Structures are given as structure tokens and as C-alpha cells.
Amino acid sequence: MTSDLDSDTDPEIILGTNKTTYHLPEKGSDNLVIVCGKMFLDTLGINIQTVRTALAKKMSSHGTFVAARDLRGTHTNRPHQYPVEITNLIISHIKSFPTVESHYVRADTQKNYLPAGLSISRMNRMLNDELSQVGMKEINISRQYYAKVLQENFNLSFHKPKKDKCALCHQYKESTPEQKELLKDRRIEHLKNKKIARKLINQSVIEANSDSSIAVIHFDFQKVSTTSKCEVSNLYYMSKLVVLNLTFYDLATNLDTCYVWNETVAKKGSNEVASILMRQIEYILSSRPKVNDIRTVSDNCTGQNKNQNVFTMLIMMAVFHDVKITHRFLEVGHTQSAGDSMHSTIESYTRHREIFTQDQWAKSMRKACHSKRYVVHQIDQNWIKDFGEMAKMFNWANLHTNDVRELVIDSSNSKLNISVKYDFREKKYQKLKILKKDIEYFEIIKNYNFPQACENKIDITDLKKKHFQTMMQNLWIPEKYHDFYKKIIQ
């Protein structure tokens, strides 16, 4: 490693008569080590222009740089006075953090999420530390200004461990009396639906407790978990491997099951949910032979739970095993479940643990609860089936998919009946006409060979690969986990 920024890397960066020296904190200590410019930029995720601009300001000792110094302390309540270079510096700093796409966290928002553990204060402190490491102690950006730049230029949220609050209830709470009047009817309806959905599920649990032919399961994704949780601050700039956990909470037996995979194995879509739910239903039917009435519960996410692929799978399972399956969707915004307490148990168990691999996540999940063991399966790619072809055999035009509250598929008397409720308060179910006359469903379903959804490892981005390599080279990922990451990068 060279002691200065190599002049052949970028001669322009050397300003005035002094050569610029770059430092980074040494692994596991507070000491700074001199590194080459390229490594400095790569590690901090700052581009060369940012440093050049900042250095130019520093070198022109009577320029705007001095103004920046004057703005510290008492002047931070007027953050708009920072020069544009500082704003750009903050923008490029924020851009250097990898974000998580909203669909991994919640489907109904356009926001992207910053990694868990970050906050505005922390990000601001990191930038100020980095500036002081390159000899620019004078720039001390206030937290208030950093927050202002983030809010004005990005649609970013900090990764929340819990689900967001209900949008409608929140809007109602914040409304003026006049606005409340306009929302009143919608909200009353909403609260009634919330209550009815809960009541129906509680009733099912009571019935299941005294009737061994009934099973009730609630399933839900746990917030995205990423590996490399270790507390090296440079790791905040590095992309993480996405690890997913689809949990099943058996409301009658209290058996909790997690299905875990990473982004190179499968996605977080309808085929994944349908395939894993299918496996869980088959597990229930094989381990509890008396069960012939399965009631499943989920939230309304159309990309994952409320779609033709999942409905197709439920129909196929009902036919294949001659059982009745009822799926209910909880009221939007109020989908909390017993599974949520599982998620928070796992979160608090793993909060201060270093986790680098999917396997470590699975082990932590198994041990997370002190009063019982969660069953954890790490899924193989060949578990994930493609339901798209089979779904084409139904007339979906006759179903308002988005409005479904309850879907009942009864094949228990060797006759297939499918009915639906679009409102929990409807007294009768509507018969659903999605079966096509010329198709022999029983014969096709009983002999169906599911095609696999994906045959090959799902590739990750080149940037992610580069970040994993950097983390291995610096031993931010300990050597014993390198084999796992080498396979991911391959």
C-alpha cells in the first residue's frame, strides 16, 4: 500500500505543494493507518470529485471553507448558509449507503430504506469523522443540516423493526375536526372490519383447540435480515446479503416454523409464498392425519399473498388432499399477528450478535426463544415451484382479486366448490365461477408435476460482489465465512 495517493492514479488531486495523505481506522482499534487513495475512496464510498472539491475549498484558505467553519455552533440554526459544496458532499455521502428496496420491507410504499442501526446522528457523525480523517476538521456539519439535506433530496426511511402504523388510522388521528368528519364513515367501516377479522380468527382458534380436524395458521414475512451485522462503521457503506424469513405460526398448537433463504436462492414473491405455504400445509396434513379443515391467515400484500399463484396452490392442495381450505385476509393496517412476537424475539436475540451467513441466521432463530424452540428450515431452490402455468387453467376474470376477504375451497366430498366473500359481514358466500367447463381438474391436479420456478442461482449485482470482496479482503468478514461468500459471488 502506498503512503500517499499515487500521482499516477489521479495527479489532479494533489493540490498546492502538499501531497494528500489518506487514513482509515485500523481494524479493531482506534489507530489510523495510511492507505492509498483508491482504497480510501472505495471504503468510504466517496467519489474523487467530492474530495477534490472539499480539498480545493480547504486550500483556498480565504474561500467558502472559512464560512463553513463560521457556521458551526451558534449558527447551526441557520443551516441554509452552508455552501453548495457542503450540500453536495452530504448528498454524495448519503448516496454511498446501500439502501433496501421497499418491496423487501413493505409492498405499499415507494420508499427505500437505509440499513438497520443507522440514524441521522450516526451518519452525520460518520461524515464529520471522515472529514477530520482527511485533515478537514474545520468542516463540522450540523446534524440539523444533514437531516435537512436528507429530507429534501431523498425518499428514504430508516429500517424499522416493526411494521408501520395503519395509514388510515394515522391520517384520522392527525386530521382537523372537519377532515375527521369526511373520513368518519370510511374509518368506522375500517374498524368494524378489523374487529370482525380478528373475531373470526379467534373463533377458529377456539374451534381448533377442541377439534383436531381443524388447523389454523398465520404466516408472515419477517423484515429483511441482512448478514454482516458486525459493528465496524465502514460496513454501513457496504451492501448486505438479503436473508428472508417466512414464518408460520400455528395458532392451535403454538408450533412456530421459520423458512429461511437468501437472495441468491429465491425471491420474495408469490411463487415463494405459494411453494412454502404448500409445504407447510403438507407437513400439517402428514403430521396430523385427522386434519381436514385448514384455515390460513395473512396480510393483503398482492405481490406475495393475495394473488392467482397462491389461490391456485390452495385449490390444488384442497383437491390433492381432499380437504377444505379457507384463507382469510386481515384488515389492512391491522395485520399484526402472534408471528410478530416471534419476529421481535428473533430481533432482540440477534440485535448485538455478529451474523455473517444465512446458516448463522438459521441457528440464531432456533435459539432465539428461551421458552421453546422454533423449527427452522433453510430452503433449497428446488422447493420453489412455478404456479403460473397451472393458474392459466382458471377463469380469473370472474374474481376481484384485490377485494377478496375470504376464499373457501372445499374438495372434501370429491367435488370442487370454490366460494368467496368480499366483505366479512356478508351472510352468504358467493359461488366463484373460475372453473372452466372442459378441464378435468381432479385428474390434472392429482397428476401434476410442478415445474421449478428457477433453475439457477440468482445473480447479485456487480457492486454487491465488489463489496463482498472488499469485506473479505479487509477481514470484516472473518475468514471462516469466506467459502460461503465465494459461492455467493461465483
Please tell me whether residue 319 binds Zn ion under the rule CB under 5 A.
no
CA angle 354, 345, 100 (to 5 degrees): 60
The SS3 call for residue 483 is: helix
Q: Give how many residues touch Zn ion by CB under 5 A.
A: 4
Q: Which stretch binds Zn ion (CB under 5 A): 71-79, 81-89, 116-124, 165-173?
A: 165-173
Residue type, 314: L
Q: Which DSSP symbol is given to 455?
A: S
Minimum distance from CB of 1 to Zn ion (Å)? 56
- For Zn ion, the closer of residues 118 and 169 by Cβ is 169
| Listed residue (306, 285, 288, 289) closest to 297, CA to CA | 306
Q: Which stretch binds Zn ion (CB under 5 A): 2-10, 167-175, 277-285, 430-438?
A: 167-175
- For Zn ion, the closer of residues 58 and 334 by Cβ is 334
Q: Measure the CA–CA gap between 181 and 136, rounded to whole angstroms.
A: 55
Q: Return the residue of 24, 54, 90, 166 that touches Zn ion, per CB under 5 A.
A: 166
C-alpha dihedral sign at 27, 30, 36, 40:
positive
- Tell me the per-residue interface mask from 107 to 146 with Zn ion, x by CB under 5 A, - otherwise: ----------------------------------------
Q: Return the residue of 169, 232, 416, 434 that touches Zn ion, per CB under 5 A.
A: 169
Report the relative pairing of strands 256-262 and 375-378 from DSSP bridges: parallel
C-alpha dihedral sign at 101, 146, 28, 138:
positive
- For Zn ion, the closer of residues 166 and 330 by Cβ is 166
- For Zn ion, the closer of residues 189 and 207 by Cβ is 189
- For Zn ion, the closer of residues 130 and 331 by Cβ is 331
Q: Which stretch binds Zn ion (CB under 5 A): 42-50, 158-166, 310-318, 336-344?
A: 158-166
C-alpha dihedral sign at 278, 279, 280, 282:
positive
Going from the C-alpha of 403 to that of each of 126, 172, 197, 221, the distances in angstroms are 47, 23, 14, 21
Q: Which stretch binds Zn ion (CB under 5 A): 328-336, 376-384, 417-425, 448-456?
A: 328-336
- For Zn ion, the closer of residues 172 and 429 by Cβ is 172
Minimum distance from CB of 198 to Zn ion (Å)? 12
Q: Which DSSP symbol is given to 401?
A: G
- For Zn ion, the closer of residues 75 and 187 by Cβ is 187
**Nearest-CB residue for Zn ion:** 166
| Listed residue (146, 131, 152, 149) closest to 57, CA to CA | 131
- Tell me the per-residue interface mask from 331 to 370 with Zn ion, x by CB under 5 A, - otherwise: --x-------------------------------------
Contacts of 398 (CB under 8 A, 6+ apart): 432, 433, 434
Interface residues with Zn ion (CB under 5 A) are 166, 168-169, 333
